[in-house]
Structure 1
């Protein structure tokens, strides 16, 4: 008799925000680990908006033609992020990558709408300047999501790269003194053996 069987269950999902930044790549790797642990599907989501936002794009000439180009760029960014993190081996779990048009925070919260979902986001930069001057996707998700949210802290490498970038922008040289000491220790160790 039809309808007497158990209702089909929907697989658990681990939804993760992807932007291509180092923080989002760290979050993507952690989300894949979580999906494997939970035996869930991995749903990487890259949310994009037209340059200047949707309001500007509605009134700009020729923006309808550009929408397809912007969407293709977002797809390429997603594919690059997936390749950077997983290579040819893939994530090791079922995956459904999505490219969604919209603001990242609301788009992620809308997609991760099941109680059984887990939403993974990069925690972003922790400086006061960035907190004061930029919208935080992770903060939005933590306050608006109806499912558990994991905020993955930035990789220590990300902080070191940001510091090196600041030094380059300011025209300051790199402190190579610690490198000279390491090279000396390594060469000293070789000559002792």
Structure 2
């Protein structure tokens, strides 16, 4: 897990955990999350997840550290691109690249009494073909409020 903090805002209450799944939807989610972080005077945690090609079972059977490193790098680049596009200079941003599926990782990162989880509602993508499955999983698993932003809305 990689963490980078930037910004000048000093947090006093909770965290706003934001899922970054693509550059476009990630910018929308980060802008919505930043607005919530400002309102709550909270830190913003931008999260990109990745899984080994073929899943964890395939990785156990045929490990490929080079492929895992490339996938982690791709997730980090995606997170950096989305954060730049969202223009978050006035908010403290903690960037995390985490191995695992978003439906399991995100609810595990937003667990505090003042935390909030921000996702983007979309109709699937090349990475997550089942429409709205991440939103459903997080609504079901998350112990904190979930804000579902729409793509293209800041």
Interval containing the TM-score (normalised by the shorter chain): 0.7 to 0.9
Distance 1:92 1:12 in 2: 17
Gaps of 5+ in 1: 1-8, 127-131, 157-193
Aligned 1:1-80 pairs, distance under 5 A: 11-61=13-63, 63-80=64-81
Q: Which has the higher contact order (CA 8 A, sep 6+)?
A: 2
Residue-by-residue CA offset, 1:100-136 (whole Å, 9 max, x unaligned): 000011100000111210000001228xxxxx94461
1:139 aligns with 2:136: yes
Distance 1:78 1:113 in 2: 22
Contact 2:23/2:79 (CA < 8 Å) preserved in 1? no
Residue-by-residue CA offset, 1:126-166 (whole Å, 9 max, x unaligned): 8xxxxx9446111111111000110112337xxxxxxxxxx
Show the counterpart of 2:3. none
Show the counterpart of 1:184. none
Gaps of 5+ in 2: 1-10
| Residues 1:91 and 1:34: Cα distance change in structure 2 (over 3 Å) | farther
Q: After TM superposition, which residue ranges in structure 1, 4 or more long, deviate above 4 angstroms?
A: none
Distance 1:122 1:101 in 2: 20
Is the partner of 1:97 in helix, strand or coil?
A: strand
Contact 2:49/2:99 (CA < 8 Å) preserved in 1? yes
**TM-score in terms of structure 1 length:** 0.65
Distance 1:30 1:135 in 2: 18
Aligned 1:150-165 pairs, distance under 5 A: 150-155=147-152
**TM-score in terms of structure 2 length:** 0.81
Bigger share in helix: 1
Structure with greater Cα Rg = 1
| Residues 1:152 and 1:136: Cα distance change in structure 2 (over 3 Å) | same
1:81 aligns with 2:79: no
Show the counterpart of 1:149. 146
Distance 1:116 1:91 in 2: 22
Distance 1:149 1:136 in 2: 14
Aligned 1:104-143 pairs, distance under 5 A: 104-125=102-123, 133-134=130-131, 136-143=133-140
Count of paired positions: 140
- After TM superposition, give the deviation of residue 11 of structure 1 in Å: 4.1
